[in-house]
């Protein structure tokens, strides 16, 4: 009988996320596990902390399948949350701390979490919408004493440090991350133990994560799929994590140089910032750095060449989405070497299918298209999500016969390299953050003087893409841009707020009322082969 096949309902026991923490907590107890500033935990202490968290969940009557929401910047406790929850089957739901309070409220209600853990700086924002929250019973402050919030350390105090015994299986839900859709409402992608474990093995193979000597710096936000899988990969190798609360290029470069870093995962904008913002970068030495991974957007050829020269390590690009755990395709180090040795077109590719993964390009009828023909990317593999939370219709549309339809338009060459051309779902990627135009348009529609709006992404050298909003006003005139930005900021996360506006007489639409975004985008993307940032 097959072991843990995604199509096999007769699941057998297999490796679970917390097994790695418990194994290394026993066998290499004194090895470093995770550190942030002066706080450092070896594997024994990290596993004990996870156990206290796991038992604390039970004190709030959280059990298998129950959601726990978390809002905060990167921290040791945030990283260990995933392993603690895995032990008892609680499903963490991390929220993007950059969202506006009304956006938090929607997700908290949708995921039905009964416990919310938040950092002190975000508690006031939650309090603004507390009366809208339908399910939260316990509000816990991670790092302070705030009226109306339970203290996190007090919650954990006195909890048992032994490994809990629960019946957790590979098919069980491990975590739920939210990703927006073209409707403008976030969708909760549910990932299983098996999806994470298999994707972890694939990525560890790519990035040469050797047992125990791996040290990885993680400045990406932990609510992001790439950061989440990085944490899990490091622990699965018994390595150590260097947590950065937020991205600071100087601090990241210092870590890589002085803290024995062997692996780093960044987005291209971060790599570029390291090259530009650290004046003496060319005089630095990084003897232990083996692999630098990047994703979320392509990298400029000159930036890559400079980075390879400066860091002196292997480079890997990963393409994926929350719905594929993290990794669906890989542009390997060998492909990068080919690119800088005379095949620069490969840098426009997001690589080939990752190990154990099938990728095909299909037409509107879900039939595979010939080599070189543009169609939609479809992915099949064990890392594909279980479902969208409480959205059976959206799940059925996205998952068909085991294939996940990504909404990205691409072509594939004869070697299997995939070249993304455009987005079927209109998503904008700015600085590694996914932005869906519908969300921004909905915020603009709230303005009393705006009767129509259309939002697109346009090329931007720094962030890959920038947001441009076409606005049709009630009287046909222009509005004050600064006031409009302030209006949007009250309703949207800062990175979703457009900074550029064009006031037009009429937003172009077809006979069915759909905005003709292709016409709006064309002047800005003319002559650009890859029409994404």
**What's the pLDDT band for 48 if we cut at 50, 70, 90?**
very high
Tokens in use for 275? 């090259």
pLDDT at 295: 85
**What's the pLDDT band for 511 if we cut at 50, 70, 90?**
low
DSSP 221: -
Average pLDDT over residues 202-225: 87
- Give 151: exposed, middle or buried? Use CB within 10 Å, 0-12, 13-18, 19+: middle
Give the least confident one: 208-217, 252-261, 517-526.
Answer: 208-217
Average pLDDT over residues 149-172: 96
Q: In this model, does residue 8 exceed pLDDT 50?
A: no
Q: In this model, does residue 67 exceed pLDDT 90?
A: yes
Q: What domains appear along the chain, each with residue ranges and CATH number?
A: 16-25+41-168 (3.40.50.980), 358-423 (2.30.38.10), 428-525 (3.30.300.30)
Q: Name the phi and psi angles at 220, rounded to 5.
A: -70, 145
**Of 446, 445, 453, 468, the residue nearest 522 (C-alpha):** 468
pLDDT digits (tens, 9 = 90+) for 334-386: 999 999 899 999 988 999 999 999 999 999 899 999 999 989 999 999 999 99
Whole-angstrom Cα distance, residue 129 to residue 106?
Answer: 10
Q: What is each CA distance from 133 to 101, 107, 369, 430, 463, in whole angstroms?
A: 11, 10, 46, 30, 34
Q: In this model, does residue 300 exceed pLDDT 90?
A: no
Q: Name the phi and psi angles at 496, rounded to 5.
A: -95, -5
Kind and range of the H or E element at 107? helix 101-111
**Of 431, 445, 442, 427, the residue nearest 517 (C-alpha):** 427
Q: Name the phi and psi angles at 163, rounded to 5.
A: -65, 125
Q: In this model, does residue 9 exceed pLDDT 70?
A: no
Where is pLDDT greater, at 84 or 10? 84
Tokens in use for 412? 């594939």
Pseudo-torsion of CA 225, 228, 229, 232, nearest 10°?
A: -170
Average pLDDT over residues 392-404: 96
Average pLDDT over residues 460-489: 93
pLDDT at 527: 73
pLDDT digits (tens, 9 = 90+) for 480-499: 999 999 999 999 999 999 99
Q: In this model, does residue 149 exceed pLDDT 70?
A: yes
> Which percentage of the chain shows pLDDT scores above 90?
77
Average pLDDT over residues 190-202: 95
> Which percentage of the chain shows pLDDT scores above 70?
94
pLDDT at 154: 97
CB 432 within 8 A of CB 390: no
Whole-angstrom Cα distance, residue 41 to residue 59?
Answer: 24
Average pLDDT, the chain: 91
**What's the pLDDT band for 310 if we cut at 50, 70, 90?**
very high
Q: In this model, does residue 512 exceed pLDDT 70?
A: no
Question: Residue 326: how many CA atoms within 13 Å on its side-chain side?
Answer: 28
**What's the pLDDT band for 179 if we cut at 50, 70, 90?**
confident
Residues in the chain: 533
Q: In this model, does residue 442 exceed pLDDT 80?
A: yes
pLDDT at 4: 39
The answer to whether the pTM exceeds 0.95 is no
**What's the pLDDT band for 420 if we cut at 50, 70, 90?**
confident
Q: In this model, does residue 208 exceed pLDDT 90?
A: no
**What's the pLDDT band for 5 if we cut at 50, 70, 90?**
very low
Whole-angstrom Cα distance, residue 79 to residue 229?
Answer: 10
pLDDT digits (tens, 9 = 90+) for 260-288: 999 999 988 899 899 989 999 999 999 99
């Amino acid at each position: 009988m097959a072991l843990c096949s995604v199509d096999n309902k007769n699941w057998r026991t297999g490796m679970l996320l917390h097994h790695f923490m418990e194994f290394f907590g026993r066998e290499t107890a004194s090895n470093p596990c995770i550190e942030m500033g002066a706080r450092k935990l070896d594997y024994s202490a990290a596993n004990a902390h996870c156990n206290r968290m796991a038992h604390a969940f039970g004190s709030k009557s959280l059990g298998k399948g129950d959601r726990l929401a978390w809002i905060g910047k990167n921290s040791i406790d945030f990283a260990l949350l995933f392993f603690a929850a895995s032990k008892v089957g609680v499903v963490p739901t991390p929220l993007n701390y950059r969202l506006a309070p009304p956006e938090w409220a929607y997700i908290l209600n949708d995921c039905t979490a009964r416990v919310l853990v938040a950092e002190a700086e975000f508690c006031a924002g939650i309090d603004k919408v507390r009366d809208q929250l339908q399910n939260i019973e316990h509000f816990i402050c991670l790092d302070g004493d705030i009226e109306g919030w339970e203290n996190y350390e007090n919650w954990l105090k006195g909890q048992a440090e032994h490994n809990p015994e629960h019946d957790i299986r590979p098919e069980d839900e491990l975590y739920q991350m939210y990703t927006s859709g073209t409707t403008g409402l976030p969708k909760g992608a549910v990932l299983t133990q098996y999806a994470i474990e298999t994707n972890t093995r694939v990525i560890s193979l790519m990035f040469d994560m050797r047992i125990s000597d791996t040290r990885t710096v993680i400045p990406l936000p932990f609510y992001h799929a790439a950061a989440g899988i990085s944490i899990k990969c490091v622990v699965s190798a018994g390595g150590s994590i260097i947590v950065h609360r937020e991205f600071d290029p100087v601090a990241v470069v210092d870590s890589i140089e002085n803290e024995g870093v062997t692996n780093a995962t960044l987005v291209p904008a971060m790599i570029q910032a390291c090259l530009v913002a650290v004046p003496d970068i060319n005089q630095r030495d990084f003897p232990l750095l083996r692999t630098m991974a990047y994703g979320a957007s392509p990298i400029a050829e000159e930036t890559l060449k400079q980075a390879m020269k400066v860091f002196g390590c292997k480079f890997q690009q990963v393409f994926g989405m929350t719905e594929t755990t993290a990794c669906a395709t890989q542009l390997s180090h060998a492909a990068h070497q080919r690119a800088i040795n005379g095949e620069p077109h490969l840098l426009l590719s997001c690589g080939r299918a990752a190990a154990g993964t099938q990728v095909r390009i299909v037409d509107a009828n879900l039939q595979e298209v010939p080599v070189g023909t543009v169609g939609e990317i479809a992915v099949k593999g064990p890392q594909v999500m279980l479902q969208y939370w409480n959205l059976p219709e959206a799940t059925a549309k996205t998952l068909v016969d085991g294939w996940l339809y990504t909404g990205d338009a691409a072509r594939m060459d004869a070697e299997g390299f995939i070249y993304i051309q455009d987005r079927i779902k209109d998503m904008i990627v700015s600085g590694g953050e996914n932005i869906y135009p519908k969300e921004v348009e909905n915020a603009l529609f709230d303005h009393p003087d705006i009767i129509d709006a259309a939002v697109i992404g346009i090329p931007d050298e720094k962030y890959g893409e920038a947001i441009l909003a076409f606005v049709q006003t009630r009287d046909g005139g222009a509005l004050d841009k600064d006031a409009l930005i302030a209006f949007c900021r009250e309703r949207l996360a800062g990175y979703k707020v457009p900074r550029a506006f064009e006031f037009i007489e009429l937003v172009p639409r077809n006979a069915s009322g759909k905005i003709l975004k292709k016409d709006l985008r064309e002047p800005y993307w003319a002559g650009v082969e890859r029409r994404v940032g």
